[in-house]
Structure 1
């Protein structure tokens, strides 16, 4: 009996739900079909035409220099590159008995004696510089066909053994215009050069 009553109640509730849904559907159809109330405004932006201005640029003329450029300095012989290492001290490399021009210069032809082009002063030895030692070295060497110096030897030095190495190192950096005989460069042996080491404040 209990199950029978529950069945009828469930059937009644189900029918009531179906009836309620049907009424909602019918009432909603009329609302969807009605036209929307109110006014709708559409905004459309119009782009204004802008005139493009063309500017013609003319290249500017370069300004004339107020002062003329300085004249170019002619290259000089490299007499010393070691003064920066010796502070305020000065030393000289005196050239004596270096130019053996007994044959003279042949200006009218390609022949001629050797001529010095670059003379490099030696580096003053630190030990001698700190002790205030001065002196000189006479170096003898050979001027090659290419104008370089080869086989330097010390002929005389005062004091002995202090400035020998510095003098020979400097002599190896000398450059010469080689001697030309009958149109060909020849070696010149026995060229002597006296290099003096002097300190001046």
Structure 2
């Protein structure tokens, strides 16, 4: 009896040892499948989060932005008025003296360009202005980006800047003269004006710099975007 029981115990031990590799292999396969599924799920979740973040960043807040340009009066601008054409003279008629043309100062006016108003005035001092001369004019305006922090808090305001229009029509050295509330919209306004492009002022056929140009930018939140 003791010999028979010992034989049965030995057979069970061998069977158990033979079954362990199979169980280990199944556990390894099952664990690998679970790891692959979890990894793909994490990658998918990360991709969704990144896509949602990009959409939130690309959805820049928009606001109603009204800006104005204030142009300083130039007392030294040379002005030339074209002379009227002489009428046809009959033959043998004495030469008529050339007509005397007196330069007149044009009245100040306002030119509306989109949401920008340009107020300009020129004063004549008996000088002559070449036909190719002219005042500088805005060509390209870039709307400022409404600061998200100010928009989320419902803050509105304005910034008055001063800068120089170069011979090439670019904007240089923007400076904030006044702003309300202070410091909230200053950087957004400065980043916008440096991207402006102007037709430069021309005197005697040559472009010149125009210092002291003032530009007012007003930040207002549209009714539909107020929070």
Q: What TM-score bracket applies, with the shorter chain setting the length?
A: 0.5 to 0.7
Equivalent pair of 1:134/1:197 in contact (CA under 8 Å): yes
Relative to 1, partners in 2 of residues 1:110 and 1:100: Cα closer, same or farther, differing over 3 Å?
farther
Structure 2 CA distance, aligned partners of 1:120 and 1:107? 32
Q: Once the two structures are superposed, what CA deviation does each residue of 1:87-144 show, in whole Å capped at 9, x if it has no partner?
A: xx4221321414463238x997110000000111101111101101000000100000
Higher strand residue share? 2
* Alignment match, 2:151: 129
- Deviating beyond 4 angstroms after TM superposition, the runs of 4 or more aligned structure 1 residues are none
Structure 2 unpaired stretches of 5+: 1-57, 72-117
Equivalent pair of 1:93/1:122 in contact (CA under 8 Å): no
Equivalent pair of 1:140/1:190 in contact (CA under 8 Å): yes
Structure 2 CA distance, aligned partners of 1:103 and 1:184? 18
Equivalent pair of 2:130/2:203 in contact (CA under 8 Å): no
Q: TM-score, normalised by structure 1?
A: 0.54
Higher helix residue share? 2
Work out which of the two has the higher radius of gyration on C-alpha atoms and give 1 or 2: 1
Map 1:7-156 onto structure 2 (within 5 A).
Answer: 85-86=60-61, 89-98=62-71, 99=118, 101-103=120-122, 109-156=131-178
Q: TM-score, normalised by structure 2?
A: 0.48
Q: Secondary structure at the match of 1:113?
A: coil
Structure 1 unpaired stretches of 5+: 1-82
Structure 2 CA distance, aligned partners of 1:126 and 1:145? 35
Q: CA RMSD in A?
A: 2.2
